[in-house]
Amino acid sequence: MKLKQVIELLGLFPVHLADENVEVAAVYCGDLLSDVLAHIQKDSLWFSIQGHINVVAVAQLRDVACLVLVNGVAPDPQAVGRAQTQGVNICGSDETSAALCMKLAGKL
Amino acid sequence: MAELRERQILLVHELMYQIKVREAMTTPVVCFSPATTFREIQLCMKEKKFSGTPITDNGKLVGIISIDDIISAFDHRRIDEPVGPYMVRDVITVPQNYSVIAASNIFEKFHFGRLPVVEAAQSCKVVGVLTNSDILSHLLMAVNSIAERFEHEESVSGNIARRPTDTLRFELVPDNFDLAGLASTAVKKHLQKCGVNPAILRRIAVICYEAEMNAIIHSLGGYMEVQLLTDRVRILVVDEGPGIPDVEKAMEPGFTTANEKIRALGFGAGMGLSNIKRCADQFSIRSSMESGTEVEAVVAINPEAGTAPASPGKPAENTAGRVP
């Protein structure tokens, strides 16, 4: 499924979209960066509550399809700036990772 | 070696003084009046891909609006109201004829994402916008053109020794979380251009990022060197201390000495070194309480040629996380 369809399905709030046509292949939930680095699959939707600048680097390094900040967490302005220069997609949602995963189940 | 490092740092410092703000800033700058609504600015930010903008009245700077303000306007349901009453009014600016070192000091002191650039000191006329990335990319361009000139001079003089390897080197500054990850990102982009297989590249990226963050969080500073050889990539991260008292314990997954603040950012899970080891084909770590820590990882870039044996339990690529 393309990212723009996922955004519509989950009602995500786009913070920065570098490419909304990227294919989303999997999902990962994690707030510990080393854990995410170790386990996230490429082209994943990444649910996290970490909105700081270093998260953007992890997303870029692991070819993440889109970082989704859950629970209403707002990104740091620097993180948005870095996402723009690095071409990383970021969206936000007021819902929890679990609620979003339930909505996505079986759809990808 | 220490002398070489000192020369490299001196060069960057010198360039920071030489490069003027007007050379590095983004221009033309998009400005809005105080009567513009948050939504109008947000739509323009989305279209033109920027995250903050000066607010001007008759050409004079009166405030600034960042993506943060837009987000809180969404929160407070005032997205269709004019920004005038809510904008930040005490705007710190930098004159265009200043060195970028002055702007860099302001960024460091106030943790701003961007600075409006004014025509001259005491002036309110905005001529551009400057971000930390603007400075960094201009600096990289300057270093690159010096390197090119140097190579050209050497080849003209006919005594150039063919470089046997392709080496990237980055200084790692302790506690500088704003620049953290940039070295790993640069390595990934470079190796991507060199045609390294994407799955192998992601393993190299994990190694670089974990090693880079370890040095930034725990060390007194150091450097990362990434060497692209014909059959492998060698990553060497050397720091100046304080050293790891018990390396065996540090290698245990889950062992961490990171403080509360670091852990709140999602670092310090105690998985860094084991992640590096898992992603590398060869791994070694040496640490002394006198001289610091040295981590070396080697990743074979064409494993089918059998040049570097892959250790068991490798493939970092997995399918975990797929929603059924």
pLDDT digits (tens, 9 = 90+) for B18-73: 788 988 998 888 889 999 999 999 999 888 888 888 999 988 899 999 888 999 99
CB B93 within 8 A of CB B61: yes
Query: Does pLDDT of B323 surpass 60?
Result: no
From A30's Cα to the closest Cα of chain B, the distance in A is: 9
Pairwise CA distance, residues B145 & B261, whole Å = 40
Mean pLDDT (chain B, rounded): 82
Chain centroid to CA A70: how far?
A: 9
At residue A73, what is the residue type?
V
**DSSP letter assigned to residue A76:** P
Tokens read off for A74: 């707002």
Residue reference for tokens 């003084």: B17
Backbone angles phi, psi at B311, to 5 degrees: -80, 160
* Cβ contacts of B164 within 8 Å, gap of 6 or more: none
Task: For helices B198-218 and A53-61, give the axis angle rounded to 10 degrees.
Answer: 150
- What is the value of ipTM here, to two decimals? 0.78
Which pLDDT does position A22 carry in this prediction?
A: 96
Which pLDDT does position B291 carry in this prediction?
A: 87
Which pLDDT does position A102 carry in this prediction?
A: 95
Which of A16, A54, A84 is the closest to B180 by Cβ? Answer: A54
Going by their DSSP bridges, the two strands B60-66 and B52-57 should be labelled as: antiparallel
Section B270-285 average pLDDT:
92
pLDDT top residue among A48 and B319: A48
Residue reference for tokens 């004829």: B97
Say if A50 is an interface residue toward chain B (CB within 8 Å).
Answer: yes
* 3-class state of residue A32 by DSSP: coil
Pairwise CA distance, residues A33 & B271, whole Å = 9
Q: Which has the minimum average pLDDT: A32-36, A66-70, B295-299?
A: A32-36
Tokens read off for B215: 């040095």
Say if A60 is an interface residue toward chain B (CB within 8 Å).
Answer: yes
Which pLDDT does position B162 carry in this prediction?
A: 34
The string of DSSP letters for B266-311 reads: T---S-HHHHHHHH-SEEEEEEETTTEEEEEEEEES-GGGTSSPPP
Pairwise CA distance, residues B191 & B194, whole Å = 5
Nearest CA in chain A to B277: A38
Q: Which has the minimum average pLDDT: A10-24, B34-48, B88-102?
A: B88-102
Confidence of residue B307 (pLDDT cuts 50, 70, 90): very low
Q: Is the pTM of this model over 0.80?
A: no
